[in-house]
Amino acid sequence: MSQMIAPGSVIGIVGGGQLGRMLALAAAAMGYKTHIFTPERDSPASHVATLTTIGAYQDTNALRDFAQRVDVVTFEFENIPASTLNMLAGIVPVRPKPDVLFITCHRLREKDFITASGIATAPYAHVSSPETLRAALEKIGTPAVLKTCELGYDGKGQAMINTPENAEEAWQKLGYSECVLEKFIPFSAEASIIVARDISGEMQCFPMVQNIHTNHVLHKTIAPSPDAGQYQEQAVRIGKTLAEKLDVIGLLAVEMFVTPDGLLVNELAPRPHNSGHWTIEGCATSQFEQHIRAICGWKLATPSVLHPSEMLNLLGDEWLSWQHYATTPNAHIHLYGKSESRPGRKMGHITILK
C-alpha cells in the first residue's frame, strides 16, 4: 500500500474540539475531506468537517464503520482509550501510531520515556500506595507537585504539596489514584517547541515560544520566545530526539520549563498544540498544514516565521471582546463556534502580528 494519501481522500479525526476544527480547515484547503469521530453533539470540528460520526469511544460498531469510510486516521486529543486507536489501526493507517499515544497519555510512562531518551525532566517519583508516597516525599522533598498519571490537563489532576504533612490531603484530593510526585521547579519561564516529522523521518521545527499560564491554563504565547536566542538549539535537539524515538508521524509538542541550568521537559502532546496557533498567520506553514502534510505522506514545508506574534486565548466570556479585536487591523480572530461559554473554557484565540 502506498504511504501517500491523495487529495480527495478522507482524513478521519478522532476528537471534535478546536484542534480538530483547525485541522479540518487546513485539510480542506489541501483538497481533503474530513470525517470527525466524537461523542459530542454540535462539536467545533463538526461545523467545518465533511462528515461527523457521533459515537462513544467504546462503540466498536461505530468505530469500525468510521474506519471503513476513511483513508487515514489521526487524533486531536489524548484521552482516547488505547483500545479505540488499536482497533482503528487494525483497519486503516493511524498516524501517529497508537503506541505514541500510549506513552504520552500517561505521566509516568511519559517521564520514564523522556528520561530513558537522555533528556532532563523535573525529578519525579511514582506514587501508588501510602508507602510509595512516603518514599517519594523523601526522595523529592517539598515543595512538590502531585499529578495523576492519567486524565490530567490544564492543571486538572494535580495538587501542590508544600510540607510533608499536607501530602496525604493532596493525594486524597486526587482520589488516591496512581500519581507522580514532581519537584516544584521555580522556573524563569515556560516554553514549548513543536516538531513535525514526516513518513521518511525528516523533521522541521517551529521556533521555541514562551507560554504564560493563568490558573494553569495557557493565557498567552509569545512567538518566538524571548529566550529563543539562548535555548532554541537545545529545544530543537530535545524535540527532534523525542519525535524520532517515538517514531512520530505528524506533530509532537514539547512543553518545557526554562531554568538557569537549561530546559526541563514537562509534558508531550503528539498533536497540534495551543501554543502553535500563532503559526496560522505567523509562519509560512501552519502547524495544522504541517500535520496534514505529514500524515498524508507529503514532504514537510518550510515553517519560516513571517511575523513574530502574540497569541491570546479567549477563555470563557473573554470571547465577547471579539468586537474590540475586530477593529484592530493586526489582530486575527479565531472563534471555535462553541454555543456554551463556561469560566476557563477555550472559546477562541486572537493572534496579534507584531
- The residues that touch ligand AMP, with contacts defined as CB under 6 A, are 122, 145, 152, 155, 158, 182, 184-185, 190, 213, 216, 255, 266-267
Q: Residue 216 Cβ, how far from ligand AMP at the closest point, in Å?
A: 5
Question: Nearest-5° angle of CA 93, CA 94, CA 98?
Answer: 135
> Of 206, 303, 161, 187, which is closest to residue 256 (Cα–Cα)?
187
Min. distance of Cβ 59 from ligand AMP in angstroms?
29
Q: Please give the span between the terminal C-alpha atoms of the chain, in angstroms, as a whole number.
A: 45
Count Cβ atoms within 10 A of the Cβ of residue 66 and give its class: 0-12 exposed, 13-18 middle, 19 or more buried: buried
**H or E element in which residue 177 lies:** none
> Which residue minimizes CB distance to ligand AMP?
185
DSSP bridge partners of 334: 349
The residue among 182 and 281 lying less far from ligand AMP, judged by its C-beta, is 182
Minimum CB distance to ligand AMP, residue 113 (Å): 15
Here the cell at position 167 is 501530602
Q: Are 10 and 69 in contact (CB under 8 A)?
A: yes
- Indicate the helix (H) or strand (E) that contains 235: helix 228-246
β-strand pairing of 10-14 with 33-38: parallel
Q: Indicate if the alpha-carbon torsion angle 14, 295, 335, 257 is positive or negative.
A: positive
* 147 vs 334, beta carbon nearer ligand AMP: 147
Strands 124-127 and 72-75: unpaired
Cβ atoms of 60 and 33 closer than 8 Å: no
Shortest spacing between CB 160 and ligand AMP, in angstroms: 9
> How many helical (H) and strand (E) elements, i.e. helices and strands, does the chain have?
11, 17
β-strand partners of 255: 192, 267
Distance CA 32, CA 29 (A): 7
In the bound complex, what is the minimum distance in angstroms from residue 125's beta carbon to ligand AMP? 12
Local structure of 160: helix, strand or coil: strand
For residue 128, count CB atoms less than 10 angstroms from its CB and return exposed for 0-12, middle for 13-18, buried for 19 or more.
middle
Closest CA to 294 of 233, 252, 242, 232: 252
Which residue is it, cell 514545508?
301
Considering the complex, state which of residue 269 and residue 314 has its C-beta at the smaller distance from ligand AMP.
269
